[in-house]
């Protein structure tokens, strides 16, 4: 066994419905596993400290900061990254809405914003209240105020927040009304 | 012309950006990549006396540990275009905390980072200077980009005889750019030539500096930057880590990727230096300014002469017969400052526009009326007329859209529930820096069009607006036009800086497209319809047809001045703040900005630029502050959890409008620049609104809750 093999372990990750067998050190974060070992660079590193949301991915539909997670913890889970949101080349409604409403400028925070918003909407649908919700148990209105509050873990230094909020509102409003 | 200019086209690079396909520097796949991580100095001033790299060198995966003892000697570089002339790892001197003391290269990032932690350094500490405000007596005059001083008229005489006088100090905080994308460099040597992917706002500038440091010809260095995850100035000049990445790659004979950590991003490149400003005003009882003096002191570095010009806007903003400005720096043990959205006019308009608000209060005059009273028809310092200026329209349209006439001027007089409501306004001003650029436009088989120019995409929308400009000339759909940029093998272009790209590169693209159209017309023997282009090529058995375009501003490059004109963009910003009467937390409730900024190529991307700028102004006014640790001589917090940048919930309704304007003196396409203008004036408007809400005049940014208690 060479030095390298003694230090690494094999980790199987299911990313966007595809299995990836990675040979990595146990200390590799999920973010670095995606970017440096699985070749999926759509997910971005902004701070590597859990403070910016650029690295947001979905694990079994729940949003997490992948820089704050070790890859080994996520064996057998369903990981969705920005590369996995479009289906058969057809953009997710939110991706189209981001383009239409100019919900980005440089685009660096965008993969995180979009994955985060998909996870956020699931939380909203489950009835999870936020700090600005009027009620802890009743019906919450899908308002701009709710969106802004729930999306405040995703920083955008370009300041594309106006478009981000508009895009999220439009993309999910139809579903709320259903 | 087919009227593509002025259409709110969605970004043509939207799809790659929302699918994760857009490749930023650190995303570039490279065979055999290795990873480099810095170990940095923990003291702000002194010398390295002992370095122990033995543990690091034998750590798993480590290929090389570079320190000042074994790093090859580099050729000297100058600021500008280097961010600083001080090159770490060349000797044992330490001039600021965070200065690299070792660079570790390993086969994975985890291993490089671990080994960097194993480097042991001992220092001989020297006394240091950190807080410039405690050492204003050490202020010195240096020449940065502009003249340090200006003087028109006789200030003392005008001041002494004026009936209304005012003198106030204003303080703006140190701030950091905090682009979401940390600085990243990938350097690879192939057959003696350097190939770099780099997070730079200017590939050609980077090439010049890096080649110089390495003692190479520029032709031996290729620099690419395809997408930038924001820069706002911090990726403009060339910083030492970029050069050291190239050195490391040469040493290990493999490609090296160096990505700064968020903490290193606080000390590896410049920041927006704080300014201590003094504004002295004198006016008649009618509000007419008779004397204006604006002085600014900022921290500077031990190694270089970057100056934040915290008084420069006063040279231009108002008609005043006696006008003086003065800029000084105090050298401290920190890296140098650098431009940050928006530099110069950004900080200086805070002092000036707050002082004007204070003057309006003294005179019991409406703040808008006071500004109209002192409206400058020509540049009061340069004496030349403005190439275009519709600021009057901005004031009136802004006031009307905001509902300004319903404002009760008495502080604390407007409220709703527990909220004290404040309405404030300020002007915005930004010099129109103009730089030359070149571009090539090619008609390809099948009728698609290719634009090539060595400019950069930083989020401003060039992948969209350049195709719009070419499409407009050629009469094709912008979707049929694509832009290739960010590569030193392309036609030359300057830095993405100073809000200059649309004007410079846009005019070069316009020129190339116009020449291409001429060629096509000549070839066809007369006017030709765009849908016949492809056929024409085919008939002539041509694969493609290209034309080169160039734009060179008349007058000195990098300024907003020609022989006849002086060039600026303008705006009027109106804000509402709300301050809870017991909690005293100030919040921005809405902002309306109306701008006079030349021709707008794409109103959709332009709106994002302006509202993004307003958010920068909001950060400056209420949140952002890089805190100094005075005992150890470093920053208290070098992260995004403690340095507050605006988040979504901080941002209210923002409205940005442009008055109709085409400035053909500024550029052939009538455009000026807008990337920085939106960030100007907002912080003053907010401070003025906070005064209106609470009666408390805060002259020290950011306006945090404790200043309102
Ligand atoms: S990179 Fe994970 S939160 Fe910033
Ligand atoms: S789009 Fe640039 S950081 Fe969000």
Of A1-5, B49-53, B64-68, the range with the lowest mean pLDDT is A1-5
Among the bound ligands, name the one nearest to the CA of residue A47.
1
Distance CA A36, CA A118 (A): 25
Q: How many domains does chain A have?
A: 2
> Residue A40: which domain range?
9-84
Closest ligand 2 atom, residue B181 Cα: 3
Q: Which residues pair with B590 in a beta bridge?
A: B576, B653
Q: Are residues B200 and B186 in the same domain?
A: yes
Question: Which residues contact residue A49 at a Cβ distance below 8 angstroms, ignoring those fewer than 6 apart?
Answer: A67, A68, B262, B639, B640, B641
Q: Which residues pair with B573 in a beta bridge?
A: B426, B593
Q: Are residues B424 and B408 in the same domain?
A: yes
Residue A73 has pLDDT above 90, yes or no: yes
pLDDT reported for residue A2: 57
Of A3-12, B275-284, B414-423, B658-667, the range with the lowest mean pLDDT is A3-12
Q: From edge to edge, which strands make up the β-sheet containing B586-596?
A: B415-416, B419-431, B568-580, B586-596, B653-658
In a domain, A131, yes or no: yes
Segment (H or E) for B438: strand B437-444
Of B557 and A108, the structure prediction assigns the larger pLDDT to A108
Paired tokens of B470? 């070419």
Q: Are residues A80 and A130 in the same domain?
A: no
Q: How many domains does chain B have?
A: 3
Residue B309 has pLDDT above 60, yes or no: yes
Q: From edge to edge, which strands make up the β-sheet containing B164-172?
A: B149-152, B322-332, B289-301, B275-283, B164-172
Residue B257, CA distances (Å) to B25, B89, B222, B244, B523 in order: 9, 18, 16, 11, 49
Question: B21, A42: Cβ pair inside 8 Å?
Answer: yes
Which chain A residues are closer than 8 Å to B21 by Cβ?
Answer: 42, 83
Final residue belonging to a domain, choices B551, B576, B599: B551
Most ligand 1 atoms within 8 A of CB, residue of A29, A36, A49 to mutate: A49
CATH of the domain at B443: 3.30.365.10
pLDDT reported for residue A174: 80
pLDDT reported for residue B2: 67
The verdict on B117 touching A (C-beta cutoff 8 Å) is no
pLDDT reported for residue A3: 61
* pLDDT range class, residue B215, cuts 50, 70, 90: very high
* pLDDT range class, residue B512, cuts 50, 70, 90: very high
In a domain, A68, yes or no: yes
Distance CA B119, CA B385 (A): 60
In a domain, A58, yes or no: yes
For residue B312, give the nearest of B330, B326, B329, B332 by alpha carbon: B326
> What's the average model confidence in pLDDT over A90-107?
98
For residue B194, give the nearest of B181, B182, B208, B173 by alpha carbon: B208
Per the listing, tokens 């290990």 go with B252
The verdict on B31 touching A (C-beta cutoff 8 Å) is no
In a domain, A4, yes or no: no
> What's the average model confidence in pLDDT over B369-393?
97
> What's the average model confidence in pLDDT over B462-480?
97
**For residues B310 and B279, is the Cβ–Cβ distance under 8 A?**
no
Residue B195 has pLDDT above 80, yes or no: yes
For residue A108, give the nearest of A63, A166, A65, A46 by alpha carbon: A46
The verdict on B180 touching A (C-beta cutoff 8 Å) is yes
Question: Which residue in the list B324, B661, B676, B706 is annotated as catalytic?
Answer: B676
Mean pLDDT of all residues belonging to chain B: 97
Distance CA B619, CA B626 (A): 12
Handedness of CA B662, B663, B666, B672 (dihedral sign): negative
Q: Are residues A17 and A75 in the same domain?
A: yes
**For residues B671 and B461, is the Cβ–Cβ distance under 8 A?**
no
Q: Are residues B574 and B678 in the same domain?
A: yes
Q: Is B522 a catalytic residue?
A: no
d(CA A107, ligand 2 centre) in Å: 5
Given A52, A100, A148, which is nearest B649 (Cβ)? A148
Distance from CA of A177 to the nearest CA of B (A): 24
* pLDDT range class, residue B558, cuts 50, 70, 90: confident
* pLDDT range class, residue B381, cuts 50, 70, 90: very high
Residue A1 has pLDDT above 60, yes or no: no
pLDDT reported for residue A5: 58
Distance CA B18, CA A82 (A): 8
pLDDT reported for residue A135: 83
Residue having the nearest C-alpha atom to atom 3 of ligand 1: A50
> What's the average model confidence in pLDDT over A79-100?
96
pLDDT reported for residue A178: 64
0.95 cut: is pTM over it?
Answer: yes
Reduced to 3 states, what is the DSSP secondary structure of residue A161? Answer: helix
Question: Which residues contact residue A39 at a Cβ distance below 8 angstroms, ignoring those fewer than 6 apart?
Answer: B29
CATH of the domain at A137: 1.10.150.120
Closest ligand 2 atom, residue A109 Cα: 4
In a domain, A101, yes or no: yes
CATH of the domain at A23: 3.10.20.30
Distance CA B140, CA B137 (A): 9
pLDDT reported for residue B448: 97
ipTM over 0.90: yes
How deeply is B89 buried, as exposed, middle or buried, from its count of CB atoms within 10 A (0-12, 13-18, 19+)?
buried
Q: Are residues A169 and A150 in the same domain?
A: yes
The verdict on B621 touching A (C-beta cutoff 8 Å) is no
Q: Are residues B88 and B215 in the same domain?
A: yes
Q: What is the pLDDT of residues A120-173, one digit of tens each?
A: 999 999 999 999 998 888 889 999 999 999 999 999 999 999 999 999 999 998
Q: What DSSP designation does B524 have? A: H
* pLDDT range class, residue B499, cuts 50, 70, 90: confident
pLDDT reported for residue B1: 52
d(CA B30, ligand 1 centre) in Å: 24
Final residue belonging to a domain, choices A84, A109, A134: A84
The verdict on A91 touching B (C-beta cutoff 8 Å) is yes
> Residue B39: which domain range?
32-126+180-230+235-266
Q: Are residues B535 and B621 in the same domain?
A: no
Report, in angstroms and rounded to the nearest whole number, the Rg of chain B calculated over CA atoms.
26
Reduced to 3 states, what is the DSSP secondary structure of residue A148? Answer: helix
Residue B592, CA distances (Å) to B57, B426, B572, B588, B676 in order: 58, 11, 8, 11, 16
> What's the average model confidence in pLDDT over B311-336?
97
Distance CA A31, CA A58 (A): 12
Alpha helices (H) in B418-500, listed in sequence order: 462-474
């Amino acid at each position: 066994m060479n030095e390298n093999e003694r230090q690494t372990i094999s980790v199987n990750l299911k990313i966007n419905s595809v299995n990836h067998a990675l040979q990595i050190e146990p200390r590799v974060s999920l973010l670095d596993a995606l970017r440096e070992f699985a070749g999926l660079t759509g997910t971005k590193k902004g701070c590597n400290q859990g403070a910016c949301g650029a690295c947001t991915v979905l694990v079994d539909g729940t949003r997490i900061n992948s820089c704050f997670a070790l890859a080994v913890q996520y064996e057998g889970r369903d990981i969705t990254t920005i590369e996995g949101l479009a289906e058969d080349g057809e953009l997710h409604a939110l991706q189209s809405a981001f383009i239409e409403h100019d919900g980005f400028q440089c685009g660096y925070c965008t993969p995180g914003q979009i994955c985060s918003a998909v996870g956020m909407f699931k939380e909203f649908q489950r009835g999870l209240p936020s700090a600005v919700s009027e009620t802890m148990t009743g019906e919450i209105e899908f308002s701009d105020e709710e969106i802004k509050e729930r999306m405040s873990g995703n920083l955008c230094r370009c300041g594309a927040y106006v478009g981000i909020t508009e895009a999220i509102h439009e993309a999910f409003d139809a579903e709320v009304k259903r | 012309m087919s009227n593509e200019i002025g259409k709110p086209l969605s970004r043509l690079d939207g799809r790659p950006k929302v699918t994760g396909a857009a490749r930023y520097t650190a995303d570039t796949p490279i065979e055999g990549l290795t990873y480099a991580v810095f170990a940095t100095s923990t003291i702000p001033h002194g010398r390295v006396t002992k370095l122990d790299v033995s543990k690091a060198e034998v750590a798993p995966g480590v290929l090389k540990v570079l320190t000042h003892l074994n790093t090859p000697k580099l050729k000297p570089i100058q600021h500008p275009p280097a961010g600083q002339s001080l090159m770490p790892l060349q000797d044992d001197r330490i001039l600021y905390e965070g200065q690299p003391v070792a660079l570790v290269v390993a086969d994975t990032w985890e291993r490089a980072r671990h080994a960097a932690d194993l480097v042991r350094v001992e220092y001989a500490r020297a006394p240091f200077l950190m807080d410039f405000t405690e050492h204003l007596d050490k202020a010195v005059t240096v020449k940065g980009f502009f003249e340090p001083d200006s003087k028109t008229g006789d200030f003392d005489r005008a001041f002494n005889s004026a009936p209304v006088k005012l003198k106030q100090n204003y303080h703006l905080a140190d701030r950091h750019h905090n682009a979401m994308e940390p600085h990243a460099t990938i350097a690879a040597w192939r057959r003696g030539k350097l190939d770099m992917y780099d997070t730079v706002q200017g590939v050609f500038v980077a090439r010049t500096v890096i080649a110089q440091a390495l003692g190479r010809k520029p032709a031996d260095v290729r620099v690419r930057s395809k997408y930038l995850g924001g820069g706002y100035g911090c990726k403009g000049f060339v910083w030492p880590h970029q050069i050291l990445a190239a050195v490391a790659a040469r040493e290990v004979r493999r490609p090296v990727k160096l990505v700064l950590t968020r903490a290193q991003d606080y000390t590896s490149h410049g920041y927006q230096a704080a300014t201590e400003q003094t504004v002295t005003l004198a006016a008649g009882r009618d509000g007419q300014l008779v004397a204006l003096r604006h002085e600014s002191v900022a921290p500077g570095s031990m190694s270089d002469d970057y100056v934040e010009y915290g008084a420069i806007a006063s040279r231009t903003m108002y008609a005043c017969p006696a006008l003086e400005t003065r800029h000084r720096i105090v050298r401290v043990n920190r890296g140098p400052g650098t431009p940050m959205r928006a530099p110069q006019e950004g900080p200086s308009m805070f002092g000036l526009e707050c002082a004007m608000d204070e003057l309006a209060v003294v005179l019991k005059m409406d703040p808008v009326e006071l500004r109209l009273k002192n409206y400058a028809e020509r540049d009061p310092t340069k004496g030349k007329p403005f190439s275009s200026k519709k600021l009057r329209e901005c004031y009136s349209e802004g006031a009307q859209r905001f509902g300004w006439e319903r404002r009760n001027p008495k502080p604390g007089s407007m409220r709703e529930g527990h909220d004290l409501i404040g309405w404030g306004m300020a002007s915005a001003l930004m010099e129109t820096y103009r730089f030359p650029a070149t571009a090539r436009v090619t008609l390809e088989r099948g009728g698609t069009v290719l634009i090539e120019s060595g400019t950069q995409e930083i989020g401003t929308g060039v992948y969209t607006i350049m195709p719009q400009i070419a499409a407009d000339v050629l009469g094709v759909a912008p979707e049929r036009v694509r832009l290739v940029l960010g590569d030193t093998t392309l036609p030359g272009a300057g830095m993405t800086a100073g809000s200059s790209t649309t004007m410079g590169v846009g005019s070069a693209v316009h020129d190339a497209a116009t020449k291409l159209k001429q060629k096509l017309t000549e070839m066809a023997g007369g006017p030709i319809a765009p849908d016949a282009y492809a056929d024409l090529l085919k008939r002539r058995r041509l694969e493609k047809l290209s034309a080169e375009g160039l734009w060179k501003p008349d007058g000195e490059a990098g300024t907003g001045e020609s022989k006849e004109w002086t060039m600026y963009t303008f705006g009027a910003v109106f804000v509402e703040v709300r301050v809870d009467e017991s909690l005293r937390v100030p919040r921005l409730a809405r902002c309306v900005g109306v701008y006079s900024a030349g021709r707008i190529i794409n109103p959709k991307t332009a709106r994002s630029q302006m509202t993004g700028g307003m958010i920068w102004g909001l950060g400056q006014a209420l949140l952002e502050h890089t805190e100094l640790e005075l005992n150890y001589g470093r920053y208290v917090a070098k992260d995004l959890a403690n340095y507050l940048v605006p988040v979504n919930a901080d941002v209210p309704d923002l409205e940005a409008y442009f008055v109709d304007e085409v400035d053909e003196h500024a550029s052939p396409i009538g455009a000026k620049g807008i990337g920085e203008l939106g960030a100007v004036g907002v912080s003053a408007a907010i401070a003025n609104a906070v005064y209106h809400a609470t009666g408390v005049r805060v002259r020290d940014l950011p306006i945090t809750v404790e200043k309102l208690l």
